[in-house]
Structure 1
Amino acid sequence: MVVAGVIAACVVLAVLAFVVPRLSRHPERGTQRSLGLGARAGGKAPGPLGRWLSKPFHKSSRAVGRSGSAGRRARGRLPF
């Protein structure tokens, strides 16, 4: 369920970044901020468990950033 949400957010951000690059920054940062909250909450668990619980949130935040930048990069490569 959560994985599908992250994938959907990445697709929406990539399309938004391709269509309106400037306006895609705010939703991207908001998504990364909410994922950061989850990572910080998971990281409060003791020892290796904290790292394991926060890792999916870090990976998801990284994927969101990459999809947004990929959309903006593709838009920048257009000939017009």
Structure 2
Amino acid sequence: MMVVGIIAVCIVIAVLAFFVPRLSRHPQNGTQRTLGLGSRAGSKAPGPLGRLLSKPFNSSSRAVGRSGSAGRRARGKMPF
């Protein structure tokens, strides 16, 4: 279920970044901040379990950042 949610957020951020690049920064940063909280909470578990619990949040945060930058990059390449 979390995977579907992250994919939906990435699509929304990419579309937002394409159409309104300046206004897409705030939702992107907010989403990454929220995922960072989950990552920090998961990493408090001891040893390998902490790395295992924080990894999905780290990769999701990275995916959100990439989708936002991809939307802004695609907008920059448009002729208008």
Structure 2 unmatched runs, 5+: none
Cα deviation, 1:34-58, whole Å, max 9, x if unaligned, reads: 0000000000000000001000000
CA distance in 2 between counterparts of 1:48 and 1:21 reads 39
Cα deviation, 1:11-50, whole Å, max 9, x if unaligned, reads: 0000000000000000000000000000000000000000
- In the alignment, which residue of structure 1 is the partner of 2:25? 25
Q: Following superposition, which runs of at least 4 residues in structure 1 exceed 6 angstroms of deviation?
A: none
- In the alignment, which residue of structure 1 is the partner of 2:36? 36
Secondary structure class of the residue paired with 1:33: helix
Q: Aligned pair 1:75/2:75, yes or no?
A: yes
Question: Which TM-score applies when normalising by structure 1?
Answer: 0.99
Q: How many corresponding residue pairs?
A: 80
Question: Which TM-score applies when normalising by structure 2?
Answer: 0.99
Structure 1 unmatched runs, 5+: none
CA distance in 2 between counterparts of 1:34 and 1:78 reads 31
Amino acid at match of 1:20: V
